[in-house]
Structure 1
């Protein structure tokens, strides 16, 4: 069974969760929302004007809409949301007029719906950039208590299993932090481990990736990776998450046991990693796209790790299946 099917079945066990999709003007989102409603995954709420929703639905050949369409620009909640926005942004000299202008933005309006409980979670980013989605999520939703570093992970459903038979890997950070330091890498690893266990139900085996394996190369850029490992172990113990951690490792040492045996005698995960932590955003983002586009993997994300409430991003190159998968993960996060 594919990861997508597993996610859908799990989401169905918590029926009635409302997920807001700010980009109701995207044909892919409309198709995904119709499928989400039909399959009982969630109650989709699409933001858009009546003309937008009708036009896109006609393009998709949808006559009998099963999703909920909501014109946020005509909503009575605009004034309430603007007033609320001014309250928590008062240090920014926010006026009601400025607040009203901001919450008219569909991303901010959707985030405000989640903040106030009118929706359980939000999925956005099929048209908006990650930066735009993050800005709305961080401003309106904020981080969980104790979290300092927001990050973005991808669940990679592999077409060809790893040497150990693993079908699903988690890649992080692939969407948020350009050049995380040791402390940030450690927090990314711990949040990723928690997400992997929550979604996949398996023990996380974390590999900190590099061009070096256990000191085979020397460079200042590797120091932050090595320093992150003991920090990660300490944070995992404090969080009560049981996981294996190793690094720095080249990708083949992390994923192929025969290579791991040759390159490092004391590798903890023995070539059977399932959570891959990349040293920077360049390597993480490039890697997930290569695995998706050239190896045929399905990539679900970026799943935003560390927010106070479920808000998840999409790649602008996402498919309908991708949107459905991220939505199912969002439902699972809603509890």
Structure 2
């Protein structure tokens, strides 16, 4: 069974409610039909009911079974508006501005549904910039307790099963933070370890990557990674981690034993934390192209409740898969 099939199977066992705010996108409407048929989540679409139903009919999408919520007719809109005013009062948001956001910006409305428990998670981005999706999520849902950093991970699935756990290995952060600090790297490690457990079902073994292995090189860039490792030690986290180490020492058992013989992670890592966005983004794309790996993601992490961002070039299948992934992130 492939990763996505396994994720969908897990999603069916504990059905969650996922908001899709971009109901104007026919790919979203077609994905709703697929999600309903797959029974991987309950779905909420945001927008004017007649328009959504007409659009679904035009593109041949059967969305029967989905819930449609129109913010302009929503009975509890005052609760949502008041909550947003409270959240953003330090920034001077007025009641009128909050009312406008809640009734005209479906990403903000959808995130408020998640915040207040009317939904479990949200998937957007097929018709929105990543910055707009994350802005709504960070301002409304906020970060998880103990985590100050929103980041992302890709689950890399290789056909030969040589590295990680049967070919599954997580790469973070490859999509959000350009130049994380040591503390942010520690947050990324903690969040990616949590994703490994909740979404992929792996017991994480986290390698903090660098161009140095256990002091083989000296440089401020190496110090950043070393400091992140120290922060994780001070936090007394509940997952295995080690570093700093080079990529081959992290994933190749013979090299790990040679370069870091005392490490419980070296040579067997299934979570790789890159020192910056350049290396992470380059790394996952090289593995995707050279090794023919499937790159599932980016999966957004570090938020108090799950929100995931789609590429604007996504397919119907990409959307339905990300809905299932988001459902497995829900507690």
Q: Does the TM-score normalized on the shorter chain lie above 0.5?
A: yes
Q: Give 2:278's aligned residue.
A: 282
TM-score of the two chains, using structure 2 as the length reference: 0.89
**Pair 1:178-2:178 in alignment:** yes
Q: Give 1:19's aligned residue.
A: 18
Q: Which whole-Å deviations, capped at 9, do the CAs of 1:282-321 have from their partners, x for residues lacking one?
A: 2223323333355333333333322222222223343333
Q: Give 2:61's aligned residue.
A: 62
**Pair 1:110-2:106 in alignment:** no
Change (3 A) 1:57 1:172: farther
Q: Give 1:325's aligned residue.
A: 321
Quote the RMSD (CA, aligned, Å): 2.4
2: distance between equivalents of 1:278 and 1:84?
37
Q: Secondary structure at the match of 1:179?
A: coil
Check the 8 A contact 1:162/1:255 in 2, yes or no: no
2: distance between equivalents of 1:264 and 1:87?
51
Q: Which whole-Å deviations, capped at 9, do the CAs of 1:107-164 have from their partners, x for residues lacking one?
A: 1011011122221211112222222111111111112222222222222222332246
Change (3 A) 1:204 1:221: same
2: distance between equivalents of 1:299 and 1:317?
15
Q: Secondary structure at the match of 2:265?
A: coil
Q: Give 2:160's aligned residue.
A: 160
Q: Secondary structure at the match of 1:331?
A: helix
Check the 8 A contact 1:30/1:57 in 2, yes or no: no
TM-score of the two chains, using structure 1 as the length reference: 0.88
Check the 8 A contact 2:32/2:63 in 1, yes or no: no
Q: Secondary structure at the match of 2:18?
A: strand
Q: Give 1:248's aligned residue.
A: 244
Change (3 A) 1:209 1:41: same
Shift of 1:69: 3.4
TM alignment of 1:230-249, pairs within 5 A? 230-235=230-235, 237=236, 239=237, 241-243=238-240, 245-249=241-245
Q: Which whole-Å deviations, capped at 9, do the CAs of 1:62-95 have from their partners, x for residues lacking one?
A: 2564433334355444444233322322222222
Q: Give 1:132's aligned residue.
A: 132
Change (3 A) 1:287 1:147: same
Q: Give 2:305's aligned residue.
A: 309
Change (3 A) 1:294 1:233: same
1: distance between equivalents of 2:154 and 2:124?
15
2: distance between equivalents of 1:176 and 1:142?
16
Change (3 A) 1:117 1:266: closer
TM alignment of 1:45-56, pairs within 5 A? 45-49=44-48, 50-51=50-51, 54-55=54-55
Greater shift in the superposed pair: 292-301 or 131-140: 292-301
Change (3 A) 1:164 1:286: closer
Q: Secondary structure at the match of 1:142?
A: coil
2: distance between equivalents of 1:276 and 1:296?
18
Q: Secondary structure at the match of 1:154?
A: strand
2: distance between equivalents of 1:83 and 1:141?
15
2: distance between equivalents of 1:20 and 1:319?
18
Check the 8 A contact 1:27/1:57 in 2, yes or no: no
**Pair 1:269-2:265 in alignment:** yes
1: distance between equivalents of 2:80 and 2:25?
24
2: distance between equivalents of 1:166 and 1:324?
24
Change (3 A) 1:318 1:247: farther
